[in-house]
Amino acid sequence: MDSAFSRTPEQEAAISGWNPPQIDTTKPHSARIYDYFLGGKTNFAPDREAAEQTLSAVPHARTAARANRAFLLRSVDHLARIGVRQFLDIGTGIPVEGRNTHDAAQNIAPESRVVYVDNDPIVLAHARALLTSHADGATTYIDADAHDPDAILAHPALTETLDPDQPLALLLLAILHFVPDEDRPTEILRRLTDRLPSGSHLVLSHLTGDFDPVTTGGGVAVYRKSGIPMQVRSRAEVEALVPQGWDLLEPGVELVSHWRREPGAELPDPAEIGCYGLLARKP
């Protein structure tokens, strides 16, 4: 069946009339490695090779990726239930059918509006699959780098889709471990959040080596060898990313699998997850 989820970038280009973005398939990319872990098909031989090397070093990487995506859906569902209607999702990743931010938000509140941002051309090539908003809401996609918050916040697609005077939820899921300290992630967060109105939320997830430093270190080494900068952070370092003055909401910095888990859900071994999640609010 033809669907925006199964088309190649070239098919997308033929349908939409776009020029296909330049996609370097000779080098592994974090979005496509993650897609492989989630069981997707939008990945190439070098991505699969890096993913398999990661799985040799970190056999539970697939479990961690799935737990992170489930955290994304649970946190957005929670935010929609408490009244959040605007979402800015930076580091969107390759779309997953029925399991994207707007799917979770519009399932609760069809009028929800979502702006997606990623800097990977292959995510851009598949962005049409993210633009499947409920008619009452809206979704848009911006091709931009998280290192340039001002360009994201001033982008016309953002200002046309979100009301900057109303609170929004900023989602940074599984992206900040690709921003090492020398790229000043705290400064990036400050610039992204300074202008947000009171009542805005921040959702963050981040890989950690706290539960199995040796195995995690092996995984980090594979990414770095593939040319992808990666820095895992401790619980205290993840908590320190929360902008000054923001309230860290219950249950605090928690494993993504444990954060507001479904009642009765089985709890995996923390060493198999190695990824923290948190929710914070600007007072």
Ligand X SMILES: C[S@@+](CC[C@H](N)C(=O)[O-])C[C@H]1O[C@@H](n2cnc3c(N)ncnc32)[C@H](O)[C@@H]1O
Residues forming the site for ligand X (CB under 6 A):
30-31, 34, 68-69, 72, 91-93, 118-120, 123, 145-147, 173-175, 178
The torsion region of residue 91 among left (phi > 0), alpha (psi -120 to 50) and beta comes to left
Q: Using CA of residue 253, residue 53, residue 222, residue 43, what is the dihedral sign?
A: negative
Residue number with CB closer to ligand X (61 or 136): 61
What one-letter code names the amino acid at 16?
Answer: S
Tell me the residue number closest to ligand X, measured at CB.
Answer: 93
Residue number with CB closer to ligand X (72 or 273): 72
Assign 47 to helix, strand or coil. helix
Q: Minimum Å distance from CB 65 to ligand X?
A: 7
Q: Minimum Å distance from CB 283 to ligand X?
A: 26
Eight-class DSSP state of 110: T
What one-letter code names the amino acid at 159?
Answer: T
Q: Which helix (H) or strand (E) covers residue 62, if one does?
A: helix 61-81
Residue number with CB closer to ligand X (17 or 182): 182
Residue-by-residue DSSP string for 177-231: GGS-GGG-HHHHHHHHHTTSPTT-EEEEEEE--SS-HHHHHHHHHHHHHTT----
β-sheet bridge partners, residue 56? none
Rounded Cα–Cα distance for residues 181 and 177 (Å) = 9
Q: Minimum Å distance from CB 198 to ligand X?
A: 25
Q: Minimum Å distance from CB 4 to ligand X?
A: 17
Residue number with CB closer to ligand X (100 or 200): 100
Q: Minimum Å distance from CB 37 to ligand X?
A: 9
251: its two tokens: 């249950």
Residue number with CB closer to ligand X (100 or 264): 100
Residue number with CB closer to ligand X (175 or 279): 175
Q: Minimum Å distance from CB 173 to ligand X?
A: 3
